[in-house]
Amino acid sequence: MRAFLALPIPADVVAYLKDVAGRLERRTEGVRWVKDEGIHITVKFLGEIEEPKAEKMREALAPIGARIGPFRACLGGLDAFPSKRSARVIVVKLKEGTERIQAIFEEVEECLAALDVEKEKRGLVPHLTLGRRRIPKPFPNGDPMPIEEKEFLIGELVLFKSTLTPGGAIYAPIWKIKLGGENE
């Protein structure tokens, strides 16, 4: 299965970001906007993994939930990767919570390296993806839109299965590690 690890965000923040994407859509062409379930903080893309390996990953990562409790994050501003002049991915960066996300990322990297999962070469820039372009163009078109500094709680690390379809990827949770609590 094609899989990735992510930190889900609350539905009210997803709804707000979908509204932001809707306003951006009216003034930004050539962007494929993500669906609601696609708005999360990706910690690590794993690619194709077998189900037995997914279970081993869960066992290896479970102690993270005991060591790191739930924490607050806060939306920052609009940005783009690799740059605003050559935007392929439209994102919202975080103003708060990035240190804890980095700590989770580093623990994930160490735990999974023991299972022969290759470490990320680029590191992690915590963000929420709103849309992607095939052909890079400058972003934003016109004045940048302000983003409300909405605070929210991050409370779990989830392994998602990603099924690619002509209508876009479909995400399904495989397992969850509650931060500061019992695992599912």
Catalytic (active site) residue 29: no
Active-site pick, 44, 100, 127, 176: 127
Active-site pick, 21, 40, 101, 139: 40
Q: Is the pLDDT of residue 184 over 60?
A: no
Catalytic (active site) residue 109: no
For the domain covering 2-178, report its CATH number.
3.90.1140.10
Paired tokens of 44: 């690590």
C-alpha R_g of the chain: 17
pLDDT digits (tens, 9 = 90+) for 51-85: 999 999 999 999 999 999 999 999 999 999 999 99
How many angstroms separate the CA atoms of 18 and 39, rounded?
9
CB contact burial 78-117 (16+ within 10 A = b; e otherwise): bbbbeeeeebbbbbbebeebbebbeebbebbbebbeeeeb
Q: Is the pLDDT of residue 183 over 60?
A: no
How many angstroms separate the CA atoms of 126 and 41, rounded?
7
Rounded to the nearest integer, the mean pLDDT of the chain is 93
Average pLDDT over residues 149-172: 92
Residue 137 to residues 60, 93, 130, 171, Cα–Cα distance (Å): 41, 19, 15, 28
Which helix (H) or strand (E) covers residue 50, if one does? none
H-assigned helices in 46-95: 51-67
Cis peptide before 146 (omega within 30 of 0): no
pLDDT digits (tens, 9 = 90+) for 84-119: 999 999 999 999 999 999 999 999 999 999 999 999
pLDDT digits (tens, 9 = 90+) for 12-40: 999 999 999 999 998 888 999 999 989 99
